[in-house]
Chain A
Amino acid sequence: MKKDRREFINTCFRFAAGASIIGVAGVLANKSVKGDYLWQLDPTKCTQCGRCATSCVVTPSAVKCIHVYDMCGYCDLCGGYFRPNVKNLSTGAENMLCPTGAIKRTYVEDPYFKYEIIDELCIGCGKCVKGCGAFGNGSLQLQVSHDLCVNCNECAIARDCPSDAFKRVPLEEAYQFAGFKTNKKI
């Protein structure tokens, strides 16, 4: 049967509309299967520059220090808790590295101490992370806390991060902790 021009155009429109609906449905289905993406910080790239504390649109920053207990040495002289060259290992403000007192030090048994991060006080400055990385096992690590992060389209910290440590990660890999330090190879 021969189609006239009007029918032909109508058919084309129908096909286009159908294809669009299928396409949109496909994209949505794909997204729902794959899940959403979130901003996260790669601790292996982080240089603890301190910009996480100041660049985040949320105040205090959505970046917090997370303590990876499996890696912690439970040291008495903790590089993440005490200022360098500290003479007295007490919890006095003059000895503490954390500017907001967000680390709680609890005695476990001689000579071990447990260090807990108080999320409400942590501003994500990374001072403790730097100290722990320099003198300890690197068990204190900065991470984006997803219950606080508003997941901006363009993360303000990612934009300012000097070491490109921020990236979008799938929901199922929402937290990215660095493992034990491996021996340096040649």
Chain B
Amino acid sequence: MNNKFKLRKTNQFLWRNIAIVAGTFSFIICMLVLVNYIQINRIDPVNTELINSLVQRLEENPNDNQLREQIREMDLLVRKAYFTNQWQVKAGGYLLLLGVIVTAIALQMFYAGKQKLPEVTESEQENIVLFKEKAREWIGLGGFGLVAITLLVAFLTHKELGNQFTQAALVAQSTPEEKSDVEVVEPIKEEVKEEVKVEKAAEEVKKENEKPAEPVVEDKKEEAVEKKEPEIKKETPAPKVTGGVSYPTKEMMANFPAFRGAAGQGVSYQKNIPTDWDGASGKNVLWKVQVPIHAYNSPVIWGDKLFLSGANATQREVYCYDRNNGKLLWTAKVEGIAGSPAKSPEVTPDTGHAASTLTTDGKSVFAIFANGDITALDFNGKQKWAKNLGVPHNHYGHSSSLLVYQDKLIVQYDHKKSASLMALSTANGDELWSTKRKVRVSWASPVIAEIGGNTEVILAADPCVASYDVNTGKELWKLDCITGEVGPSVAVGDGIVFALNEYASLVAIKPGANPEILWEAYDYLSDVPSPVISGDNLIIVTSYGAVVCYDAKSGEIRWEQEFGSGFYASPILANGDVYLLDREGVMHIFKADKEYQEIAAPALGEKSDMTPAFADGRVYIRGEKHLYCIGK
């Protein structure tokens, strides 16, 4: 067969070698770029924990010049590594592109030289028409297939559509009756023995260190088990009794059932609260246990039981401790709840997945997590009900705590997509009422107070402080007076509501159908700790370390005090004194009086951002890692 085409002759040896060299070069560069890219992603110049910890050490020892030099060297090294890697990735990318182009050209030239003209036989010539037809068909079908796959992928990866369908599916699936698998884990005795460390005095601590696995539960502690119903301290402000119903109830006041105590007002009604301890030496630390999963919720107490929760992106747990000896009585895993999202929402490390404090009514304990899971457990850790309220769209993480009023579990659920206040039945989780709110995301917690014969739930969120009838959810009053990302909850005293937020103002509100601002101040504001009121002394705590006492009636500053460390924990009024835990774990105890008078400043020896809980003669503090019981 004659053929008019001519094959181009190339130097195959040369092109093959060029292809090999360029290909190898490209491969090496590709690997180097990949390694560099991984390194860049590992280096986080913004949050270099090592440098931060060294700087912290330097703050403690400002004259340590060697440490100072070390920080400077480390800082330079991190910056160099970060920017050099970036430069290397960019240059490597260009080199890789060049290498690939040269390889492709060389390969093309090499194979072009190897090509031979095909010899077509008679039979193949006949088949060629059929082959072309088939090829056209396949090309057509392939094209349609690609279009279909593209449309399918576009549809599946469309974020908004995907979310809407998932949400709709979750809502459709979620039925409150469905029970989840709550696993009650009995703690293994040996583990408890290891965890429970009773540190009475420095000598005993030393002994314990020699035998760390030995359980130490002292007789004295057992004797200290309080069987009597705690009495209500006379000095603490008693709630008003209106219409035969009082809130908080005597039972609640005898315990510490919620974030900032009964009704969330920042008042502890317990007595004989210790003022002297030292976490480092173990002085007056009755016991100390490690909490399995870290979280920012504070302890709550009912009877001899103390409750906490812990969570991370994959696990959610509720813990019950014997508050007399620190024994972990049970752990309830909260999982498999209908409607619960497969992936936990993104939260920031300083809020976490379980920032909301639990609450209890003496029969059940209620917990809520950042993914919207809410559950009720009995005092043996068995689940009574559980449901998912829908994932809260909250860029730091949901942190509003829960409260119980009679048979209602009060949930403040202010997030980006929708904001509401709801009351769920404590018995079965059914929604008793729900009130939509026109507010932005809030991290504050509800406070229940009796004002003018009404029992009101008072909430703070940008742009208003609002009050709702606790029985019906009906809005009673609302006042636009607060802005920003509201973290502090309100304080209520003598019929006046006090609300504040960073970059907004501190306002004293006279509630009622037409609420009025009695006074306003801008000098000291808080973005995390809530205020507390004792008589006409309003105590404001800022997260950067200033504590101020205002005259609650006039708004005049009575005293100001600066502390070295900032505060995230809220102050609690106990024994007529203010207990305020700073972020380093030092409890500042001072008189809630017209003059600042420090009583003591005992140190825990561990950082803490959690609000302490109180029982008669005891203080319970959740530190960064451990739970402490302090007493005499």
Where the two chains meet, the residues of A that have a C-beta atom closer than 8 Å to any C-beta of B are: 47, 49-50, 53, 59-60, 83-85, 87-88, 92-94, 99-101, 121, 123, 125, 127, 159, 162-163, 184, 186
Contacts and interface: CB of A to CB of B under 8 A. Distances in A.
A93 B62 contact: no
Interface of A is mostly: loop
Contacts of A127: 46
Contacts, number: 61
Contact of A94 (B55, B348, B483): B55
Contacts of B396: 162
Given A47-B485, A93-B72, A94-B68, A101 B59 contact: no
A101 B62 contact: no
Interface size bucket, B side?
35 or more
Q: Looking at B46, B82, B485, B503, which has the most chain A CB atoms within 10 Å of its CB?
A: B46
Q: Which 5 A-B pairs have the closest CB atoms?
A: A162-B395, A93-B75, A94-B71, A99-B45, A125-B46
Nearest to A125: B46
16 contacts: A47-B485, A49-B395, A53-B46, A60-B86, A87-B59, A87-B62, A93-B72, A94-B58, A99-B48, A100-B45, A100-B83, A101-B79, A123-B45, A125-B46, A184-B504, A184-B522
B170 interface: no
Given A50-B46, A100-B79, 12 more contacts: A49-B348, A49-B395, A59-B40, A59-B86, A92-B71, A92-B72, A93-B71, A93-B76, A99-B47, A125-B46, A162-B395, A186-B507
Contacts of A93: 51, 71-72, 75-76
Nearest to B37: A59
Interface in B479-511: 481, 483, 485, 503-505, 507
A135 B46 CA distance: 20
A84 B59 CA distance: 11
Contacts of B46: 50, 53, 99, 123, 125, 127
B584 interface: no
A131 to B, nearest CB: 12
Contacts of B31: none
B469 interface: no
A33 B439 CA distance: 39
Contacts of B485: 47
B520 interface: yes
A101 B45 CA distance: 10
A85 B566 CA distance: 11
Given A94-B72, A99-B48, A100-B45, A186 B86 contact: no
B517 interface: yes
B76 A186 contact: no
A127 B44 CA distance: 14
B55 A83 contact: yes
A186 B45 contact: no
Contacts of A162: 395-396
Contacts of A53: 46
Nearest to A87: B62
A107 B296 CA distance: 43
A156 B425 CA distance: 42
Contacts of B522: 184
A121 B483 CA distance: 34
Nearest to A159: B159
Interface string B38-78: 00100001111001001100110010000010011001100
Contacts of B55: 83, 94
Contacts of B59: 85, 87
B71 A163 contact: no
A186 B464 CA distance: 11
A100 B82 contact: yes
A87 B61 CA distance: 11
A49 B485 CA distance: 13
A101 B517 CA distance: 46
B520 A186 contact: yes
A163 B348 CA distance: 14
Interface string B347-386: 0100000000000000000000000000000000000000
Contacts of B72: 92-94
A85 B522 CA distance: 22
A99 B59 CA distance: 18
Contact of B481 (A83, A87, A123, A186): A186
A127 B48 CA distance: 13
